[in-house]
Amino acid sequence: MATVTLSGISKQFGRTRAVDDLSLSIASGEFVVLLGPTGAGKTTTLRLIAGLETPDDGRVTIDGADVTATPPAGRDVAFVFQQYSLYPHLSVFDNLAFPLRSPARRVPEDEIRRTVEQVAGMLRIGHKLMNRSTQLSGGEMQRVAIGRALVRQPSIYLMDEPLSSLDAKLRADLRLELKRIQRELDATILYVTHDQIEAMTMADRIGILSEGRLVQIGTPREIYADPDNVYVAARLGQPSINVLPVGVLPAPDVPANAFSIGARTEHLRIAQADATSANARLDWIEHLGDQNHLHIRIGDFRLTTLADPASDLASGEAIRVEAAAALYFDEDGKRIR
């Protein structure tokens, strides 16, 4: 495992800037998640590290060595693709053994067998080794795809939304397993996703990408509680942060240059109110069992927040909503601290 550094990386496809002056350093043994919507440059960043694309500008170093011009085979990285990574003409065993059988590596066959069986055991697909890779369920296929990376001990594992094609239950299971395996192997992982739960649960650090730029990077806690701007604030939190113009929501200590206020569930105080003190109306309550989503109309704006299912609020009620504390943003969406 090694440190991987990107410095000032840019990549342009035709007229679109996929990655724009991106710098990032991943420490050995660290699990970094890049979070961003489709088209933010997440996959391109991975492909640049893997050597599947060459940057127009900037340098990639792995363990101190400049690999910017090195072809993929020479970089010692492993890649888990979003889909299509299993070879349909090979068995599960042969799929897992494929990276070890590369002519560049020359691993003896009995060692290949040992490694493959060990990895298959770790991923709980040991009993499927002789199956054709096309006869697996979606979850099993994705385990094999991850296994194909794990049979090697590369400098870094690059994972491109490996769980996105799975259903919610499987995704939750594999999320936990992946984190467990990463701790076990002390692996360096750069993981790309648009799923904030994956980012929050697995990452040591989360990098938020927007239009090819790294907007902010920090621990999940930092990104959640201390976002640099309104874009980052909107990436994390379920339901997502309510951004309203200043003045709509009563709040203490509003900074003078504040343009908008960002209020998450934990910032809001909601109470039943009479006609004189009410400033909002509870439009609708979604009962999710363990929690309730409240859809509130305040002035011309709407906000969504969580509430204790035991609360006695009812749809259509007049309520008073206040922010106890909140995040403030200036006209450009920059956070005012």
Choices 99-107, 247-255, 275-283, 299-307; region in contact with other proteins by CB under 8 A: 99-107
Q: Is 75 or 205 the residue whose CB approaches other proteins more closely?
A: 75
Choosing from 43, 85, 115, 196, the residue that interacts with other proteins (CB under 8 A) is: 85
Choosing from 16, 23, 25, 102, the residue that interacts with other proteins (CB under 8 A) is: 102
Q: Is 47 or 267 the residue whose CB approaches other proteins more closely?
A: 47
Q: Is 25 or 134 the residue whose CB approaches other proteins more closely?
A: 134
Q: Is 50 or 214 the residue whose CB approaches other proteins more closely?
A: 50
Choosing from 38, 64, 84, 289, the residue that interacts with other proteins (CB under 8 A) is: 84
Choices 80-88, 235-243, 262-270, 275-283; region in contact with other proteins by CB under 8 A: 80-88
Regarding 252 and contact with other proteins (CB under 8 A), the answer is no
Q: CA triplet 83, 88, 89: central angle to 5 degrees?
A: 155
Choices 76-84, 222-230, 290-298, 324-332; region in contact with other proteins by CB under 8 A: 76-84
Q: What are phi and psi of 54, to 5 degrees?
A: -105, 135
How far, in Å, are 44, 118, 155, 163 from residue 150 at the CA level?
22, 10, 12, 16
Nearest distance in Å: CB 49, other proteins: 10
Q: Is 99 or 262 the residue whose CB approaches other proteins more closely?
A: 99
Query: The tokens of 67 are what?
Result: 């690999």
How far, in Å, are 64, 221, 307 from residue 89 at the CA level?
38, 45, 52
Q: Cα dihedral angle (167, 170, 175, 180), rounded to 10 degrees? A: -170
Nearest distance in Å: CB 38, other proteins: 17
Choosing from 41, 99, 162, 207, the residue that interacts with other proteins (CB under 8 A) is: 99
Residues 6 or more apart in contact with residue 238 via CB below 8 angstroms:
196, 197
Q: At what angle do helices 109-122 and 138-150 cross, to 10 degrees?
A: 130
Nearest distance in Å: CB 52, other proteins: 5
192 strand-pairing partners: 34, 160
- The size of the interface with other proteins (CB under 8 A), counted in residues, is 25
What whole-number distance in Å separates Cα of residue 215 and Cα of residue 218? Answer: 10
Give the per-residue SS3 of 218-239.
Answer: ECHHHHHHCCCEHHHHHHCCCC
Binding stretches for other proteins (CB under 8 A): 50-52, 71-73, 75, 77-79, 81, 83-85, 87-89, 98-99, 102-105, 148, 152
